[in-house]
Every structure is written in structure tokens, then in C-alpha cells.
């Protein structure tokens, strides 16, 4: 099914498939291709409207009878550390951060496989080979970085965490991160987010985009533990004051038809810049 605006890009809808976050539900995505001379502007604009990037595609949930997925971002200026987050920073003081161009390595893939086999063995990426992994990292038409976290001992580098990160005009978008699942007490997933907040602060960027928060999903509970969190609801970013107020039980009529959703999307000026 295709739905289009008076000007490019074209928007499409995926076929329904089982939801990876809420058991017994079906997910569907609205998506468009990310390419051409204005890819950067399109990514910036649609990221502010709840879209996420996956290689050369921008997408957001558009389920027929559920609206439980909320795009989430942290306001960097207002963020404050919790006691447990302060402990996480102390535990990982030895980690070294290296930000590089989006280039995949065998070391990254080995860590990626270990992470998937431990945490997401039945997920959509479970069968991803090294070539597909390289495509995930390297196929980006916009300004992206691979942020590695490692330790050094005796001249040897040990990679512990990696994050593929997009640099937007108003923040950092954490496209995908993975880490050593054996270091449970280090809370590496939390640490990578905390460090991205610091990177954004140093760069003068107001937001860190975390992807989707799904109330009722244990996989996504950790995002609600960050202060100064905003979620995208009905076309606006709102502070997440009370996670308990968000219900996963939604009525089918609470979701706008696809054509209306597309018509409400604000697109950037696609005329060539001089």
C-alpha cells in the first residue's frame, strides 16, 4: 500500500507482523526511503516527529489498533543523575570512548553476536550475518558515528560496548547499541546513554533520542528511569511525569487512518540550497 504527499518522499506501510514488545499484538510501520540530496534535512525533520532511522529507511509505528509505542528523548539541560546512575558512572570510569566513522569491524560483530545470543536470541536480528551487520553500520546517507567503549591492558584493547549514533541538528539519535552481556553489574546499557548525554552536552545539543518507550514492555522499562524524559504524543513532545498514566490498552479508533497520518507529517523544504 502506498500513500504519497504532493511532493516527495513516498510513504509506505509494512504488512502486520507479531509485535516484539507486547505479546499477542501485531505491529505495522509507516516508512519512507532516506536518500537524495536532502536526506539530512528529512532525517532531522522526521526524527522530531517520532521517526527512527534503520539504514536508508525512516520509520515509525503505525499499528491498526494500538498506539502504545512512544518515541522518547532526554532534555540534556534538565537531566539529573539518580543515585544508581552515579554508581554506574563510577563503575565504568576505566572505559575509554572512541568515536569513529561508521565502519564495521570483526571485533564489533563478535560483540554484537554475543549480545544477541544472550539477550535477543529470538529477535528479528538473531540471524544477521557479518555482511548484514556491516550494512546496518555503514549504509547511512547522513552524519553518523560509531561510538566504541573499551579498556586497554598491556597494549591490548577489549571492546565492551558499541553504539551507532546519528548526529541530528538538535541532538544525538542512538540508532542501535550493544554491549558485553556478561558484565551485568556494570550496567553498560545505562552507561552508554549517560555518556551520550555528556557528549550532547559538550556539543551544545539539546536532546538525546532513545528510540521507542513502550509502557507494559519489560524490555523498555529502563528508558522511563531517566529524568527529563519526553515522549511524542499526538504530534507534540510531552514530559513523562508519570509513566503509570500511559496505558497499553488502546481503542482501535484512537489511531488515525494512514492517509491522515501521512497528511499530518511536516516535511522540510526540498529545494536545493545555494
Assign residue 179 the CATH number of its domain: 3.40.630.30
Same domain, 148 and 254: no
Taking alpha carbons only, the member of 205, 195, 220 closest to residue 170 is: 205
Any domain includes 82? yes
pLDDT digits (tens, 9 = 90+) for 123-166: 667 778 999 999 999 999 999 999 999 998 877 899 999 999 99
Same domain, 104 and 227: yes
Same domain, 199 and 89: yes
Q: At residue 79, does pLDDT exceed 90?
A: yes
Same domain, 8 and 137: no
Percent of the chain scoring above 90 in pLDDT: 67
Same domain, 20 and 115: no
Task: Please report the pLDDT score of residue 259 as a whole number.
Answer: 86
Q: Are 188 and 173 in contact (CB under 8 A)?
A: no
Q: Please state, as a whole number, how many other Cβ atoms lie within 10 Å of the Cβ of residue 46.
A: 22
User: Which cell is 163 given?
Assistant: 553504539
CA atoms of 11 and 8, how far apart (whole Å) = 9
Same domain, 55 and 153: no
Return the residue matching grid coordinates 525512516: 58
Q: At residue 1, does pLDDT exceed 90?
A: no
| Confidence grade of residue 120 (pLDDT, cut at 50, 70, 90) | low
Same domain, 161 and 78: yes
Same domain, 147 and 253: no
Same domain, 181 and 95: yes
Same domain, 55 and 85: no
Any domain includes 148? yes
Task: Please report the pLDDT score of residue 4 as a whole number.
Answer: 44
Q: Are 202 and 97 in contact (CB under 8 A)?
A: no
Q: What integer is the mean pLDDT of 243-268? A: 78
Torsion over CA: 258, 144, 150, 133 (sign): positive
Q: Beta strand pairing status for 229-233 and 70-75? A: antiparallel
Any domain includes 268? no
Any domain includes 272? no
Q: Are 63 and 28 in contact (CB under 8 A)?
A: yes
Same domain, 225 and 181: yes
pLDDT digits (tens, 9 = 90+) for 153-204: 877 899 999 999 999 999 999 999 999 999 989 999 999 999 999 999 999 9
Q: At residue 119, does pLDDT exceed 80?
A: no
Any domain includes 35? yes
Domain residue limits at 46: 2-71+247-263
Any domain includes 83? yes
CA atoms of 182 and 192, how far apart (whole Å) = 16
Any domain includes 270? no
Q: At residue 244, does pLDDT exceed 50?
A: yes
Q: What is the tally of structural domains in the chain? A: 2
Same domain, 236 and 259: no
Any domain includes 157? yes
Query: Exposed, middle or buried by CB within 10 Å (0-12, 13-18, 19+), for 112?
Result: buried
Torsion over CA: 261, 18, 34, 11 (sign): negative
Amino acid at each position: 500500500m502506498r500513500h504519497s504527499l504532493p511532493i516527495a518522499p513516498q510513504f509506505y506501510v509494512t504488512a502486520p507482523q507479531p509485535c516484539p514488545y507486547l505479546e499477542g499484538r501485531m505491529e505495522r510501520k509507516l516508512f519512507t526511503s532516506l536518500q537524495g540530496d536532502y536526506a539530512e534535512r528529512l532525517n532531522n525533520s522526521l526524527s522530531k516527529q517520532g521517526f527512527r532511522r534503520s539504514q536508508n529507511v525512516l520509520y515509525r509505528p503505525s499499528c491498526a489498533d494500538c498506539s502504545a509505542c512512544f518515541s522518547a528523548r532526554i532534555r540534556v539541560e534538565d537531566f539529573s543523575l539518580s543515585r544508581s546512575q552515579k554508581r554506574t558512572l563510577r563503575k565504568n570510569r576505566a572505559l575509554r570512548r572512541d568515536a569513529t566513522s561508521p565502519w564495521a569491524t570483526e571485533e564489533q560483530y563478535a560483540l554484537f553476536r554475543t549480545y544477541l545470543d544472550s539477550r535477543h536470541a529470538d529477535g528479528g536480528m538473531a540471524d544477521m550475518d557479518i555482511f548484514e551487520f556491516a550494512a546496518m553500520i555503514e549504509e547511512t546517507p547522513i552524519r553518523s558515528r560509531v561510538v566504541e567503549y573499551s579498556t586497554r591492558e598491556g597494549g591490548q584493547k577489549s571492546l565492551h560496548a558499541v553504539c551507532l549514533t546519528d548526529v541530528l541538528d538538535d541532538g544525538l539519535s542512538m540508532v542501535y547499541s550493544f554491549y558485553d552481556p556478561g558484565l551485568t553489574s556494570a550496567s553498560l546499557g545505562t552507561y552508554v546513554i549517560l555518556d551520550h548525554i555528556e557528549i550532547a552536552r559538550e556539543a551544545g545539543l539539546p536532546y538525546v533520542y532513545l528510540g521507542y518507550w513502550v509502557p507494559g514492555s519489560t524490555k523498555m522499562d529502563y528508558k522511563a528511569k531517566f529524568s527529563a524524559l519526553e515522549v511524542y504524543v499526538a504530534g507534540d513532545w510531552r514530559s513523562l511525569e508519570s509513566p503509570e498514566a500511559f496505558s497499553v490498552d488502546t481503542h482501535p479508533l484512537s489511531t488515525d487512518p494512514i492517509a491522515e497520518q501521512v497528511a499530518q507529517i511536516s516535511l522540510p523544504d526540498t529545494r536545493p540550497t545555494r
